[in-house]
Structure 1
Amino acid sequence: MSLHTPKEIAQLAIQAGVAKSRAPISILLILGFMAGAFIATGFLLDLHVINSLPADWGSFGGLLGAAVFPVGLILTVLAGGELLTGNMMTLPVAWFARRISFFSVARNWFWVTLANFLGSVAVAWFFGHMLGMTEGDYLKKTVAIASAKVHADFLHTFISGVGCNWLVCLAVWLAFASKDVVGKIFGMWFPVMAFVAISFQHVVANMFIIPAAIFAGQMSWAEYFPNFVAVFLGNAVGGAVFVGLAYFLAFRPAVEPASSVQ
């Protein structure tokens, strides 16, 4: 059979969480930087697709842009990367199974957040600002997207973050389901495309588009910070609760004795 059962996926997610919790900081920084850059590149591709489409295409144009965005998660999962939003599911589910400590979850999230930020901002600065890929003809669209994100109120931003990472972590869950590359790609593609088309907020994607607007002189870091907090918290709930906890409770994978917690 080319697919793992949902119960088997739960075990694979726990194993992934345990492995991630034990990764050295140097590895988290390298792979986290790569994942941040991959997600930013997917967003950059999305931006370039939608910017060149006629305005009267409306939401169909947005769908086309959303259809290319998943390249970021595909690269992260298949080439290798540490992505905060995915880790918001795999680390908690390992914690629920009493295989790791809460400190291990927090440690991973801290270093991966930092590394994802550096990778995303690097793409925003070098490709977006220095090469002009988010400025010039693309500036109006860049600022419009970033402004919509930072000007949403805290509650709406939080809920948007929940919806986003519910879908992103389902994409990761489906990647665990498949035993072949093509299946993993298709499993990830549609949930990610859905969250982008809906315009849900992704904390790592925002690490690219909002700094891109900041580097263009159209926004400030002070405007970005409340958005970061709200989206981070929403993404954490979406991944840890709506995917990690939900499937842990549904499938009840084996729980290790408390003495084995790392």
Structure 2
Amino acid sequence: MAREAYPNPLMRTPSEVEVAAEDAGVTKATAPAARLFVLAVLAGAFIALGGSFMLIVKADSSLPFAVSQVLGGLVFCLGLFLVLVAGAELFTGNCLMVAGGLSRRYPLKGILRNWAIVYTGNAVGAILVAGLLALAAFGDMGSGAVRDAAISVAVSKASLAPAVAFTRGILCNILVCLAVWMGFAGKTVCDKLAATVLPVCAFVALGFEHSIANLFFLPFGLMLEAASGAAGITVAGVATNLICVTVGNILGGVLVAIAYWAAYASKSKQ
């Protein structure tokens, strides 16, 4: 692929980012299943930790709405920052693998294999952290305010209309994949943090839906609700949310991958 004339030694140019994304996709499409699964469990746990950090903010009812949304988004960035720097496999970010598929560097079955393994591992990691936090009485913090916030978040997600959940899933993963894409441009830990903060903070503040985060929020809300004897979250609502948001996330990420592939890779392969 052609490079830009004067590449910046401190960061990759947009065309170089596209190459780096494809190179990463090759590794992801061919990695051993066991390695993918372990790294996916870690990513699910990382996102869950970011989500639990966000619940601390949401538990403070004295904060104005906008402040709570933005601050909650800021601390939620912990999850993707850990994924990018510590190294892990996150389903939503891996939707960018479509770019390498379009360049025929690996087949569709390699992408689908990765997605299946990684989504399963992400779910295990997120639910595992939810269980550990429930056992640690995390919901009791703030005199039960964290429990109330967690149940409220889960109820609101499980109550979304399918079309709303789907659309919010698209918008969410456009921002998440842009954060991951920009992360490829950076060459330092600080670069990764800078790439993560604004897109992730924005999707949380704007109320968009992230399937892996919801694999933490919804099971955690169910656990806390069951322990308290309440009944506001339905299994049907949880399943509907996860299906619609997951499909929306895939579409949003694929759109980002196609756009940048068309801009920087397709012409070089003609």
Shorter-chain TM-score: what band? over 0.9
| Alignment partners' CA distance in 2, 1:109 and 1:221 | 24
State the partner residue of 1:106: 112
Q: Is 1:131 aligned to residue 136 of structure 2?
A: yes
SS of 1:134's equivalent?
A: helix
State the partner residue of 2:122: 116
| Alignment partners' CA distance in 2, 1:71 and 1:225 | 26
Q: CA deviation at 1:142?
A: 1.0
Q: Is 1:74 aligned to residue 81 of structure 2?
A: yes
SS of 1:210's equivalent?
A: helix
Give the partner amino acid of 2:138: M
Q: Is 1:148 aligned to residue 162 of structure 2?
A: no
Match of 1:158 among 138, 144, 166: 166
SS of 2:146's equivalent?
A: helix
Please list the CA deviations of residues 176-224 of structure 1 after superposition, one character each: whole Å capped at 9, or x if unmatched.
Answer: 0111211111111110011011110000000000001111224243321
Q: 1:35, 1:82 within 8 Å by CA — same for their partners in 2?
A: yes
Q: 2:60, 2:145 within 8 Å by CA — same for their partners in 1?
A: no
Q: 1:99, 1:255 within 8 Å by CA — same for their partners in 2?
A: no
Q: CA deviation at 1:53?
A: 4.8
| Alignment partners' CA distance in 2, 1:7 and 1:134 | 46
Please list the CA deviations of residues 238-260 of structure 1 after superposition, one character each: whole Å capped at 9, or x if unmatched.
Answer: 1011x10000001125549xxxx
State the partner residue of 1:62: 69
Identity of aligned residues (%): 35
TM-score when scaled to structure 2? 0.90
| Alignment partners' CA distance in 1, 2:158 and 2:112 | 26
Q: Is 1:239 aligned to residue 246 of structure 2?
A: no
State the partner residue of 1:222: 236
Q: Is 1:3 aligned to residue 35 of structure 2?
A: no
Larger mean Cα displacement after TM superposition, 33-42 or 214-223: 214-223
Q: CA deviation at 1:132?
A: 2.1
| Alignment partners' CA distance in 1, 2:222 and 2:269 | 46
Unaligned segments of structure 1, at least 5 residues: 257-262
Q: 2:166, 2:245 within 8 Å by CA — same for their partners in 1?
A: yes
Match of 2:263 among 250, 254, 258: 250
Unaligned segments of structure 2, at least 5 residues: 1-7
Please list the CA deviations of residues 214-237 of structure 1 after superposition, one character each: whole Å capped at 9, or x if unmatched.
Answer: 112242433211111100110001
| Alignment partners' CA distance in 1, 2:269 and 2:26 | 13
Please list the CA deviations of residues 56-82 of structure 1 after superposition, one character each: whole Å capped at 9, or x if unmatched.
Answer: x22112211111111100101110100
Q: CA deviation at 1:134?
A: 3.5
Q: 1:134, 1:212 within 8 Å by CA — same for their partners in 2?
A: no
Give the partner amino acid of 2:103: A
What number of residue pairs does the alignment pair up? 252
